[in-house]
Structure 1
Amino acid sequence: MIKGYTVQEATHKLEQFCAYQERCHKEVEEKLRGMRMIPQAIDQIIVHLIDQNYLNEERFAQSFARGKFNIKKWGKNRIMHELKARHISPYNIKTALKEIEDTDYLKTFNELSQKRLAQISEKNPQKKRKKLADYLLYRGWEHQLVYDKIYELIP
């Protein structure tokens, strides 16, 4: 049997959910749907969470961008794509990407490129370039940055 929740119980549960880590509206809505809440209750709870500052899309986007860049070494393209998938507004995406300092961004990109190149055992320079490019592009680094770096590292 599936447990039903009152609006108060669901609100309390979602306050804890949002307090544990930053969440976006989409995650909260999915969680409430999973709890089988009706649309009116979902709207009411989301408004409460925003009013009480448990839910803040701008704060979520900034935290997400910082975390994915610092921990997973993602580029701005990948971060932007992931935020769009979470229905974050273009304004908040732009604000979030400002959290990443240009000097840190380039430093991380250079370190990541060097580290990955050292791991590639391919002898053919063309295949080596492709492997490095695929890796960096998958991680969301800008095309121009990637191709300039590849031809610098693998002449």
Structure 2
Amino acid sequence: MQQKTYTVEEAKRALEKYCAYQDRCHKEIEQKLRDYNMIAQAQEVIIPHLIEHNFLNEERFAKSFARGKFRIKKWGKQRIVRELKFRDISEYLIKVALKEISEDDYINTFNELAQKRFESIKESNIFKKKKKLMDYLLYRGWESNLVYQKVNELVK
């Protein structure tokens, strides 16, 4: 099957729609351009165009990513940081993004998530129950000190 080829203008329009639908990071745009088989010179025209017209904004992306993953997926800060680093977001922007999450919301969400998960684990062996709860919370990126404290509080 023949792959569709794009002119620079077509690629610009397609990427404008792609960015307008949801905030994107530079890495996602570069991948899309590779998918479109765009040469480096075309990329050097398209990326600045997207930034200039505010379709591509790493700070906005980092902030909405942190808010969304925290509110919807209930991720802890460590998982959010790891995922942002994976997307080549700068340390500075990661710090800015984490400020989007209030400390009160963070602790309340953590407590609710831990309680809900604790109640759903059907395990009679308390050590296995502790491990399952810990693994679940750590995988979601919650800080280990919070996790150990909460697990020891819940599992007696």
> Does 1:79 pair with 2:88?
no
State the Cα RMSD in Å: 0.6
Per mean C-alpha deviation after superposition, the further-off stretch among 56-65 and 119-128 is 119-128
Report percent identity of matched pairs: 65
Shift, 1:57, TM fit: 0.3
Which consecutive residues of structure 1, in runs of 5 or more, have no partner in the other structure? none
Distance in 2 of aligned mates of 1:45 and 1:121: 53
Q: 1: CA distance between counterparts of 2:3 and 2:72?
A: 37
Deviation at 1:36, TM superposition (A): 0.5
Normalised by the length of structure 2, the TM-score is: 0.98
Q: What pairs up with 1:1-155 in 2 under 5 angstroms?
A: 1-155=2-156
Equivalent residues, number: 155
Q: Distance in 1 between matches of 2:44 and 2:124?
A: 58
Q: Which runs of 4+ in 1 moved over 6 A?
A: none
Give 1:124 shift: 1.2
Aligned-pair distance for 1:44?
A: 1.3
CA distance in 1, matches of 2:44, 2:25: 14
- The 2-side partners of 1:121 and 1:4 are apart by 54
After TM superposition, give the deviation of residue 91 of structure 1 in Å: 0.6
Query: How far, CA to CA, are the matches of 2:45 and 2:93 in structure 1?
Result: 23
Structure 2 residues without counterparts, runs of 5 or longer? none
Counterpart Cα distance in 2 of 1:41 and 1:93: 29
Amino acid in the other structure paired with 1:53:
N
Normalising by the residue count of structure 1, what TM-score does the alignment of the two structures yield? 0.98
